[in-house]
Structures are given as structure tokens and as C-alpha cells.
Chain A
Amino acid sequence: MLTWYQWLILGVVPPLILSLYFLKLRRVPLEVPSTYLWTKTVEDMHVNSIWQRLRKNLLLWLQLLVVLILMIACLRPGCTGEELAGDRFIFLVDKSASMSATDTKTGITRLEEAKNQIYTLIDRMKSSDAAMVISFSDTEGVDQSYTKNKGTLKRKVKSIEATQQGSDLNRALIAATGLANPGRTSDKFSNTDVQVADALAATMFIFSDGAIKNVSKYAPGELTTIYQPVGAVTPVSNIGITTFSVNDQLDTGGSVEAFVRLQNSGFEPKTVGVSLFIGDQLTDADTVTIPGREISEDNLSLGANDRLADIDQSPPGGLSLKFDLTTVAAVLESAAPIRFKIDEPDEYLLDNEAFCVLNPARLTNILVVTDYNPALKLASSTDRLKKIANIEFAERKFLEDKEYQTNAALGVYDLVIFDQCSPKTMPACNTVFFAALPPGDDWKFTKDLEITPIIYTNSSHPVMFDVQMQSVSILNGQLIEGPKGNTSLVESIDGPVVAIGPRSGFEDIVVGFPMILYEEDGDTPYNTDWHKKPSFPFFMQNIIRTLGSGARFNSLRANRPGNSVKIKPRYPYEEIDVKNPKGRNQSIKQQPNKTFVYNQAEETGIYSVSEKGSKEVDQLFAVNLLDRLESDIAVRDELKLGYEAIKGNPTREPARRDFWTLLAFFALAALTLEWIVYNRRVFI
């Protein structure tokens, strides 16, 4: 802004030009026969001759115009809003399942709405601005790295397609912040450390509905984050299926039940019709009312929009349903797809259907290799286990048998328990070792133990569920060191004595102490009193239930769209075909560990697995969205990134658009015109 004396100087300029104009003696004398007619002509003009002269003097007006334009330019006129502030932008687009909700003003999907908003932003970019596009769901991808080409940016944005996956912003943020703050890890003051690059400030626009898993760590650095909520402006009522599963018969001792949980993301209770199909057969139907969001007492008095602003304080309402499928499962000959459906369509259709696979009752194949272990035998012979498992006992020499080797290689067993022995090669199944190590260098005994108390049981692991070992005494044992990624299950005062570790798709448990000691004199005393405690049968049952799932491996596991699915067919095929819900086949070759990995489970529905070229279905598996966050389609007003809460719909920093350059250009043009007029003597 100008100070008063600058204003004064500016204000004096136009009168100065005017006075100079009047003072100038530039009239050319011209002798004429008579001024008689001229005098008569200008007679009436004399009355307002000053103004006449001003009116007709193009040069003067041009001079005044130039000064006026320059004065206006000095005021630095500008306007707000149109252009984007900054010169580097990152457009982070949520393409998760909830973005396909159609609760936008124009009825298009949220993703399309977000795309439209990005197009607008791209249009507002200055020609020198660069931007990049990252889309994310469960996974993230840099669709377009930094470019100034608006056409390319728009093309890339257009090519983003909705997925049926959840949303995880973490990795997308890492990608974005990494590009904005490249040199963060380098040490500025170290002589040996070479600076990677200077941090480049950028503005990141997150286009999302806010249904995102909480981001635990977020260090924006030079990144300015702007959250652009996309979706309904009024609370919507979406009924979604957040849980759909068929219980493991191992849990219930033979009865088969399907569990469904419905979620209502609106504030009002809603009644919907639901149907359960087995195959294409309608098996059950009901009409249920799902309560609305819980409204805390503080928010009772608030209006709908205010409640929406505080949406995280009001968890969505839910309703659980249970269907008994025991009789259906009993007569089932092969695996059957189950489909649960909400009859009323709403704005978000993806969560209105869920799938599951109902497997016919099949016993788990378990091999116990032991010379003598009554405790093991006793614990494996309970009625409950007999209903679900076919447990075979064999002596240690059976390991040399060809039958064992064939069965183990083909994956006939679901679980092999080695009691104080170990095979030459690991079988293609889960294993448990008692006082022995799997072949190879992954597992090690590190230290001998004598009479050691158990101080810790990892009860969070399903194998140790309900297993209390604090009162168990162990005479001799060994400390275990497992492969990378192992989990300690039981720890003595010196370290782990039971641990579980991964082995390319399978899991191995190593117990560091024997149940029974084989003494040289043939005596077989117990090394521990574990078998006398209730925790041992529980442990056995957990092992068989958890590691012995066998062919139900896939059908019982919750497969999410976009995740890779590990398939273990019932028979050791070399190659399998996986047919997706749309009927498209894909052939997969066997992995070295006899399993197959399917990476194309992008859509929800039932996938069928069969031997390549065969029409006989080996197994089915379901892919479901079943995501509470995605089903809760209420748009979040606020995005929590680490410790930072980013408010949605922020007042976009008003980008100041200066016009002084334009005005200066006009002034120059006027000056040029004036020069032409002066030299060419152009007159009106």
C-alpha cells in the first residue's frame, strides 16, 4: 500500500499533465485570407473551449490514461481464489469401495465427483505449476509423477478406477511426503553425508470421504495438507454388511451357523429386508430394523449437520443376525456358496451383498509321530476332537516310510506333530515339534534349562487361547531361537520355550521340552506335569483347530478385495484355474511350497478353484468387503493424520492474483499508441 506522500505525488501527476498541456506553446501560425469564417465557426465553441480542446485532444487523453493505469497498477489490484497458491501439488485420490457411493449432489459417484474437483484444480494451475496424482485404496500407486502437462494429469486422473477395497492412507502419505521432503534423513552437519535434495514445498489435496484407517504416523514436513471431503452434504442412511461368516465346526462341535452383522450409518433407525441364499436357492429371509447411530447426550440437542461434524463421537448402529445352517450343511455334498443380501438398494451398493462358502463336514488329517506318549494320545482322543479330526498315530520309523514321504510331499496331512523326532524334509503342512528341531538352520536350541518356572504365556495368540501355563513345572528343557518373524508363545525366566514361526505359507511350532523322557533303561518318566493340567488338552485342541484347518484354509479366512489369496487345493495339482465372480478364468502355477497365490481377487464374490482344464470344482473361496469404515459412508469432516486433525472444506488459501503486470502492459500499449499518434498525427 502507498503512504500518504506517495499518494500525494501520484495525485499531482494528472493536474500537472493538464497544466502542461494548456501551457504548451505548440500552435503553428498559419496565414489565412480571413479569420472571418473561422471566428464565426469557433464562436459557439468558445463558450466551452477548454473542454472542447480537452475533448478533442487524443494525446492528452492518452497521457492521462497512461498515468491512470500506472496509478491503478501502483495500488496493486488483485482478486482472490481463482488460481491455486503454490507451485507443486499432489492430488491424493481415494479409490476405495466407499468412494463408489452415489450420494453426491449430482448423483454421480464420489470418485467421479472427486475427479471433477481435481479437473477444476488442474485448470486453475498456473502454467509453471507441477502436480502429481496418487490414488490409493488398500494399496497406493503413483499414477502420475510430477508434471506440468495439464492434459497428461487430466488423462491420468480420468484413468483412476474405483476399487472394491478398503482404504489405507499410510503408504500413500509416505509416498507423497517422501517426494516433498526428500532429504529428511540426511544429516546436514555431517561432512560425510551428501545431501540428497532440497525439500520442495508442495500442497497435497486429499480427496476422500474420510473413511480411512487412522494414520498413526504422519510428518508432513514441507507438505501442506488440504482435505477435500467428497460425498453427501446431508447425513445418509446406508445399511451395510460388516460381518458375514460361517463358523468353524471345530468351534461349535458340529453345528453350523452363519453370522451377519449389519451396520446403519444414518441417524435414523431403518428397516430392511434381508435374504440368505445357498447356491441360488433362497434359504432364509427376514425383515429387520437396524438402529441408527448412537447419539451421545451432549449431541442430542444438535442439528443433523452438527451431529455430522462430530460423527466420530456417534458410532454407527448395528444389528447381529444368526442363521442356523446345520441341517443344510449336513446334506451338503460339496462346497456351496452362501450369499447374504440386503434387499433395499441404497446409495452404496457394494456392501449390500456378502459371500461365504459353506463346506461339507470333513475331518482334518492329523499325523502324530511318536514312539510313546500317552499324554499326547489322551489329549488327542477327546470326543470333541474325534468329531473334527482324523488323528493317525505312527512311530518315528514311519518317517522313513515311502507312504509318509509321498503323503507329506503331496500335502495329504493338514498337521503333523513330531514328538522328539524330525523329518529329513519338512512336510507340506503345518507342524508341531516336541523337543526336536525342524531340519535346517532356522530353528536353534540355545541353552539347556533345568527346573525352570514359566513366567509368560502369549495368550493373545490363538494357539494359546485359554492355555494357562504359569503353574506348569518343567524339569529339563531348552531355550528356543526361531526363524525371522517367529512369535514366542511361552517364556521361562531365561527366554522362550515354545515358539511359532512361519515357513513359506505354513506355520511350525517348536516346544523346547519333551513331555516324556526316554531313558536308557527304558523308563519313560514325565518331564513335566503339563499333561495333568487342563491347559494341555486346550493347547492340543487349539493346535488342531488353528493349524489343522487344512482345506478350509481359504473358505474360513476373510479374504479382502485386492489382497492376494493363498490357495491350497485338496489335491496337489501342478496348475489350477481360478474363476472369478464374473466368470473369467486365470491359470496359476504351483509355488515351490505346493501352494498357489492368486493376485486378482479384485472383486467381491465367490471364486472357484479347479484343476487346470477340469470342470470339477476343488474348492470355493469368498472375497468380501466387510469393512466397517467403508460401510460407514458418512463423510468425515475431519481427517486424523497422526496427531494432526485436518479439517475438511478448508477455506482454501486465497491465491492472490495480481493484475499489475496486465495494467503495466496496458500502460505500455497506451504509450505506444500515444507515440504513434504523436508521430503520425492521427486525429479523430
Chain B
Amino acid sequence: MANVAPSKKNSSDEPLLSPALLAQLERMELVSRKIFRGRMKGERRSKRKGQSVEFADFRNYVAGDDLRFIDWNMYARLDKLFLKLFMEEEDLHFYTLIDVSPSMQFGSPTKFQYAKQLAGALGYIGLCRADRVKIEALDGSRNSNAPTLRGRSSLWQLVDHLERMESKSTVTMTEAVKAFCLRNTGKGILVLITDLMDKSGYEEALKYLVARDLDIYLIHVLSQEEIDPDINGDLKLVDCEDQDIAEISVSQRLIDRYKQTLASFIEQARDFSSRRGIVYTMTSTERSVDRLVSRYLRQRGLVR
């Protein structure tokens, strides 16, 4: 029986982000559907009035206001003190969560490799726009060693962090997300890259994220072997995570049925996500990262 065992590639010999891809990504920008308050001055318009050159509004002077912002022309005309308000520009929190469960080690390239590439690509876009980029592994640890990066010069740090990332977590997705939420309180864009293959379910985890009022993008990565399994014979399927066994005798009928199940699983995830304002994107590891970013994520509005 010709079993097509998924190849396990932890790291690729190829660079995580090719120069061509980087050149392409430099022109892009992460888009948030919501306007968040940043921590630092950045390149994004803030809710707060600030010190940018862009005029926002006037308001009455109250004691204690900075006299530098009084519009003296208005005072001359109206004999009243008005304060000139300007638009503030701030930075953006950009979180990327990578599922590091063993199931991500399947596919060619592996889903994990694919997730890292994607996270790197999106992170680089954030770095280029002076956003606060943080890429975290969903490993459930309370103390994340993930650096918060800003600026294009942090690219090497980002790549280094991604390359050191390993997929050996055994915690459930819910626990891992919960831990993330406790650690990070900032608002911003969150991209969750996962295969959603968690027997305890992904719904709870997403709910946690939704509760954080983040702008959430769910990228569902599946390997080709999962989308169109090329197997036959009498098989004993062993779950790589919990060693669970499923005995099957492969037939066309079973394969058809599996595909139906997969389709309904994807549909469920899409439905669940869209109901909660999560942007869901399903992708196969066969689809190249630049294609995904430049076409599919642009369509979904994550980048522009």
C-alpha cells in the first residue's frame, strides 16, 4: 500500500522570506478596520488628537491647556480663547499567532513552515509601516519570549525569532489563546494561522480573541494531503497529537465522504468566524505565500 506519509520539514533550506517577496511586501500596508489607540507615535491616524500637521477641530480653552495650541487668530477676531486640535498619528499593534501543534508539521511544505513564512511576510509589512509587530507561538506559555518589533531594521530579529520557533506544543488551542490574551492587552490586528485541527474545538479560543475586541484574521492552513488525501488500502490512522487510532478501509465512497466532512468543517469555521466579525481565509500549503498575501489577503482587506 503506497502510503503517502506527510513529509516533516521543520525548517526549509530556502530563506524564510526571499528578497523578491520582501520587495513586494515593502509596498504594502496592513489595514485595520478599526482605529485603535497606539502606544507610540506612529504612522497611523489615532483617535486621539495630537500633534500632527492635520487639523482636526477646535474646542474652548480651559485652564491648564497648553497655551501653544491656542488659536490666536480666533482670539483676535472673536475675543475668545479656542484651542486648535490636530489629528494624532500613532502606531498599530500587529499580532500574529502561529499554531505550533504537531499537526502543523504535515504537508509539503509543512503547514508550520508555511505559517512562519506567512507570519514573516505580514510582520515585515508591519515593520515597514512602523507598526508594533509581535509574532507569538500558541504554545500556552505564560511568559512569551516573543519580541515586540518596530521598524524595518528589526527584520533580522523577526526572522531569527521565527526560525527558532518549534512546533511541539501539546496544549489545546483554547488554553494557548487564553494565555496569549492574559499576556497581551493591547488592541490591534491579530492574525491567527492555524489548521484548526483541535479535537477540543477552536470555537472557545476564537471567542476569547473576539472578547479582546481585536481586528481578527483567521488563516486556516491545510496541507494538500488533507484536502485531497491520496491513500488507499486498509489503514490504521494514527493521530500525531494524541495517538488516537481510526481504522479505515479506503474506498472512493469513503474519500468522497471525507471531502464532504472537510467541506462542512471549513464551512462551519467560515460561518462561525463571519458571525463574530472574524475574517476567515482558508489556504492550502500549495498556494504560495506571496500569492496569498498579494491577492487573497488583499481581497480580504488585511493588506493594501
Partners in one complex: yes
Which residue on chain B has the smallest CB distance to residue A53?
B249
A41-B257 contact in complex given A30-B237, A32-B240, A35-B239, C-beta closer than 8 Å: yes
Residues of chain A with a CB closer than 8 A to B234's CB: 26-28
Cβ A31 vs Cβ B233 within 8 A: no
Q: How far is the CA of A31 from the CA of B5 in the complex (A)?
A: 7
Q: How far is the CA of A52 from the CA of B195 in the complex (A)?
A: 30
Contact of B250 among A29, A40, A683 (CB under 8 A): A683
Tell me the smallest distance from the CB of A412 to a CB of chain B, in Å.
110
Q: How far is the CA of A27 from the CA of B250 in the complex (A)?
A: 11
Tell me the smallest distance from the CB of B48 to a CB of chain A, in Å.
45
A35-B244 contact in complex given A28-B235, A41-B254, C-beta closer than 8 Å: yes
- The reply to whether the CB of A1 lies closer than 8 angstroms to some CB of chain B is no
Q: How far is the CA of A35 from the CA of B198 in the complex (A)?
A: 10
Q: How far is the CA of A56 from the CA of B247 in the complex (A)?
A: 14
Query: Can you list, as one digit per residue, whether each of B89-126 has a CB less than 8 Å from chain A (1) or not (0)?
Result: 00000000000001111100001000000000000000
| Residue from the set A27, A30, A34 with the largest chain B CB neighbour count within 10 Å | A34
Which residue on chain A has the smallest CB distance to residue B110?
A33
Cβ A41 vs Cβ B261 within 8 A: yes
- The reply to whether the CB of A2 lies closer than 8 angstroms to some CB of chain B is no
Cβ A30 vs Cβ B199 within 8 A: no
Tell me the smallest distance from the CB of B183 to a CB of chain A, in Å.
27
Contact of A37 among B111, B251, B262 (CB under 8 A): B262
**Size range of the chain A interface in the assembly:** 20 to 34
- The reply to whether the CB of B163 lies closer than 8 angstroms to some CB of chain A is no
Which residue on chain B has the smallest CB distance to residue A40?
B261
Residues of chain A with a CB closer than 8 A to B241's CB: 34
Contact of A681 among B1, B102, B199, B245 (CB under 8 A): B1
Within 8 A of B (CB), among A100-158: none
A27-B238 contact in complex given A37-B262, A38-B258, A56-B249, C-beta closer than 8 Å: no
Cβ B251 vs Cβ A34 within 8 A: no
- The reply to whether the CB of B226 lies closer than 8 angstroms to some CB of chain A is yes
Tell me the smallest distance from the CB of B70 to a CB of chain A, in Å.
64
- The reply to whether the CB of A524 lies closer than 8 angstroms to some CB of chain B is no
Which residue on chain B has the smallest CB distance to residue A32?
B237
- The reply to whether the CB of B231 lies closer than 8 angstroms to some CB of chain A is yes
Cβ A683 vs Cβ B240 within 8 A: no
Tell me the smallest distance from the CB of B199 to a CB of chain A, in Å.
5
Q: How far is the CA of A487 from the CA of B198 in the complex (A)?
A: 126
- The reply to whether the CB of A326 lies closer than 8 angstroms to some CB of chain B is no
Within 8 A of B (CB), among A1-39: 26-39
Residues of chain A with a CB closer than 8 A to B103's CB: 33-34
Q: How far is the CA of A38 from the CA of B225 in the complex (A)?
A: 13
Cβ B233 vs Cβ A28 within 8 A: yes
Contact of A28 among B1, B102, B246 (CB under 8 A): B1
Cβ B233 vs Cβ A33 within 8 A: no
- The reply to whether the CB of A47 lies closer than 8 angstroms to some CB of chain B is no
- The reply to whether the CB of A305 lies closer than 8 angstroms to some CB of chain B is no
Cβ A35 vs Cβ B246 within 8 A: yes
Within 8 A of A (CB), among B28-68: none
Residues of chain A with a CB closer than 8 A to B199's CB: 34, 36
Cβ A39 vs Cβ B246 within 8 A: yes
Within 8 A of B (CB), among A29-84: 29-42, 45, 52-53, 56-57
Which residue on chain A has the smallest CB distance to residue B4?
A30
- The reply to whether the CB of A331 lies closer than 8 angstroms to some CB of chain B is no
Which residue on chain A has the smallest CB distance to residue B238?
A31
Which residue on chain B has the smallest CB distance to residue A52?
B249
Cβ B244 vs Cβ A30 within 8 A: no
Which residue on chain A has the smallest CB distance to residue B241?
A34
Tell me the smallest distance from the CB of B113 to a CB of chain A, in Å.
14
Tell me the smallest distance from the CB of B282 to a CB of chain A, in Å.
14
- The reply to whether the CB of B186 lies closer than 8 angstroms to some CB of chain A is no
Cβ B235 vs Cβ A33 within 8 A: no
Q: How far is the CA of A28 from the CA of B234 in the complex (A)?
A: 7
- The reply to whether the CB of A197 lies closer than 8 angstroms to some CB of chain B is no
Q: How far is the CA of A455 from the CA of B106 in the complex (A)?
A: 132
Cβ B235 vs Cβ A27 within 8 A: yes
Residues of chain A with a CB closer than 8 A to B248's CB: 38, 41-42
Q: How far is the CA of A428 from the CA of B240 in the complex (A)?
A: 127
Which residue on chain B has the smallest CB distance to residue A684?
B251
A42-B238 contact in complex given A33-B226, A56-B251, A681-B232, C-beta closer than 8 Å: no
A30-B3 contact in complex given A35-B245, A57-B249, A681-B232, C-beta closer than 8 Å: yes
Q: How far is the CA of A674 from the CA of B157 in the complex (A)?
A: 61
- The reply to whether the CB of B284 lies closer than 8 angstroms to some CB of chain A is no
Query: Can you list, as one digit per residue, whether each of B244-285 has a CB less than 8 Å from chain A (1) or not (0)?
Result: 111111111110011011100100000000000000000000
Which residue on chain A has the smallest CB distance to residue B240?
A31
A35-B262 contact in complex given A42-B254, A53-B249, A683-B232, C-beta closer than 8 Å: no
Which residue on chain B has the smallest CB distance to residue A42?
B248
Q: How far is the CA of A56 from the CA of B251 in the complex (A)?
A: 7
A37-B245 contact in complex given A28-B234, A684-B252, C-beta closer than 8 Å: no
Q: How far is the CA of A84 from the CA of B87 in the complex (A)?
A: 112
Tell me the smallest distance from the CB of A21 to a CB of chain B, in Å.
11
Cβ A33 vs Cβ B249 within 8 A: no
Query: Can you list, as one digit per residue, whether each of A513-535 has a CB less than 8 Å from chain B (1) or not (0)?
Result: 00000000000000000000000
Q: How far is the CA of A27 from the CA of B249 in the complex (A)?
A: 9
Contact of A683 among B5, B246, B251, B265 (CB under 8 A): B251
Tell me the smallest distance from the CB of A88 to a CB of chain B, in Å.
57
| Residue from the set A29, A35, A40, A53 with the largest chain B CB neighbour count within 10 Å | A35
Residues of chain A with a CB closer than 8 A to B1's CB: 28, 681
Cβ B254 vs Cβ A32 within 8 A: no
Which residue on chain A has the smallest CB distance to residue B264?
A40
Q: How far is the CA of A28 from the CA of B247 in the complex (A)?
A: 9
Q: How far is the CA of A35 from the CA of B261 in the complex (A)?
A: 12
Tell me the smallest distance from the CB of B4 to a CB of chain A, in Å.
9
Cβ A29 vs Cβ B251 within 8 A: no
Query: Can you list, as one digit per residue, whether each of A671-684 has a CB less than 8 Å from chain B (1) or not (0)?
Result: 00000000001011
Q: How far is the CA of A53 from the CA of B253 in the complex (A)?
A: 12
Cβ A42 vs Cβ B195 within 8 A: no
Residues of chain B with a CB closer than 8 A to A45's CB: 254, 257
Tell me the smallest distance from the CB of A28 to a CB of chain B, in Å.
5
Tell me the smallest distance from the CB of A41 to a CB of chain B, in Å.
5
Q: How far is the CA of A670 from the CA of B233 in the complex (A)?
A: 21
- The reply to whether the CB of B165 lies closer than 8 angstroms to some CB of chain A is no
| Residue from the set A32, A35, A36, A45 with the largest chain B CB neighbour count within 10 Å | A32
- The reply to whether the CB of B151 lies closer than 8 angstroms to some CB of chain A is no
- The reply to whether the CB of B236 lies closer than 8 angstroms to some CB of chain A is yes
Q: How far is the CA of A601 from the CA of B187 in the complex (A)?
A: 130
Within 8 A of A (CB), among B208-237: 223, 226, 231-237
A27-B236 contact in complex given A33-B195, A34-B197, A36-B197, C-beta closer than 8 Å: yes
Residues of chain A with a CB closer than 8 A to B6's CB: 31-33
Q: How far is the CA of A36 from the CA of B198 in the complex (A)?
A: 8
Q: How far is the CA of A56 from the CA of B234 in the complex (A)?
A: 11
Tell me the smallest distance from the CB of B185 to a CB of chain A, in Å.
32
Q: How far is the CA of A28 from the CA of B231 in the complex (A)?
A: 11
Cβ A35 vs Cβ B237 within 8 A: yes
Residues of chain A with a CB closer than 8 A to B244's CB: 35, 39
Cβ A37 vs Cβ B3 within 8 A: no
Residues of chain A with a CB closer than 8 A to B231's CB: 30
Which residue on chain A has the smallest CB distance to residue B255?
A41
Contact of B238 among A32, A53, A56 (CB under 8 A): A32
Residues of chain B with a CB closer than 8 A to A30's CB: 3, 5, 231, 235-238
11 contacts between A and B (CB under 8 A): A28-B3, A28-B234, A29-B237, A30-B5, A32-B238, A34-B240, A41-B258, A56-B253, A681-B1, A683-B252, A684-B251
Please give 20 more A-B residue pairs, beta carbons under 8 A apart, in addition to A30-B231, A32-B237: A28-B235, A29-B235, A30-B5, A31-B5, A31-B6, A33-B102, A33-B106, A33-B240, A34-B103, A35-B237, A36-B199, A37-B226, A37-B261, A37-B262, A39-B246, A41-B261, A56-B249, A56-B251, A57-B249, A681-B232
| A-B residue pairs, 10 tightest by C-beta | A34-B197, A33-B103, A27-B236, A35-B246, A35-B239, A33-B106, A29-B236, A41-B258, A38-B246, A56-B251
